[in-house]
Amino acid sequence: MALFTPSFSFKISASSSPRRCRFVKARRSFTLRAAVAVESPSFSSADRDGAPKLLLEVKDLSAVIAESKQPILKGVNLTVHEGEVHAVMGKNGSGKSTFAKVLVGHPDYEITGGSITYKGQDLLEMEPEERALAGLFMSFQSPVEIPGVSNIDFLNMAYNARRRKLGLPELGPIEFYGYVAPKLEIVNMKIDFLNRNVNEGFSGGERKRNEILQLAVLGAELSILDEIDSGLDVDALRDVAKAVNGLLTPNNSVLMITHYLRLLEFIKPTYIHIMENGRIVKTGDISIAEILEREGYKAISNT
């Protein structure tokens, strides 16, 4: 489901052997935070020494497909501080989406090496629903439909799960309606959208807007956006990008996966990373994406 981490229960071995995540489907959990703005801000939060606060640190991360044991990630290194926007680009099959799914604990992959630290905690020791409640959020390329569950009920349940985690009282239906209704303006959606079933009969653009609505309602310290520009026309892309920019604060960060420069022209990245053969092989600024647009990956390929 878009913009949230599906809730599964799993255990990870502490031995040196490949860490296989064993999952049992459970209740879904969601996390995100709302804000309002227009342009992509340029800021980074800092600790008392003035240095940006570390949010996510990935070291030498390796992973394989759980069923076939095919290696996909082969030593990924990435550091994300609060207030930063990171974009990951690369050819199909380079490992971008696998990397995103491993971060949220997808059951299709085994961790075979490396570490992930999130807000000072070992992310690999956290269950997927714990990751979500801790403020890790993912938007999938193809969010699933949930027949029989309205958007407002879905969002109310998810929002209250986050409030329980924070030790706050839950909101009843009327209180929550008053909270969620103004958020529709962020994604340029009408109020009757709340009564529709989650993603059922939605167009591609509506699904992406719905993902950002979830983001606006629920709040996340780290949002992983996997090709949110896919299938969007220019107007829909502008609305989605405006909403994402409006949710950025000095205390949260975005990690977005994309193939195209056009998204990065709307959501300005702090860094762009090029992924190739399961590794990040190059990091730079927007000029990397401009080179890709003109010359393709052959211009910066490692091979």
pTM of the model: 0.79
pLDDT, position 49:
57
Parallel, antiparallel or unpaired: strands 19-20 and 271-276: unpaired
**Residues 215, 155: contact at Cβ < 8 Å?**
no
pLDDT, position 190:
86
Amino acid, res. 165: K
Q: For residues 281 and 260, what is the distance between their CA atoms, to the nearest angstrom?
A: 18
Tokens of 269: 């990245």
pLDDT in tens, 135-163: 898 887 777 788 899 989 999 998 998 88
In Å, what is the CA distance from 127 to each residue of 37, 80, 116, 188, 242?
Answer: 33, 21, 13, 34, 32
Q: Which of 146, 159, 134, 160 is nearest to 214 (CA)?
A: 159
Query: Could you give the percent of the chain with pLDDT greater than 70?
Result: 83
Domains of the chain (ranges; CATH) run 2-44+84-90+127-271+285-299 (3.40.50.300)
pLDDT in tens, 261-302: 889 999 999 999 999 999 999 999 999 999 988 888 888 876
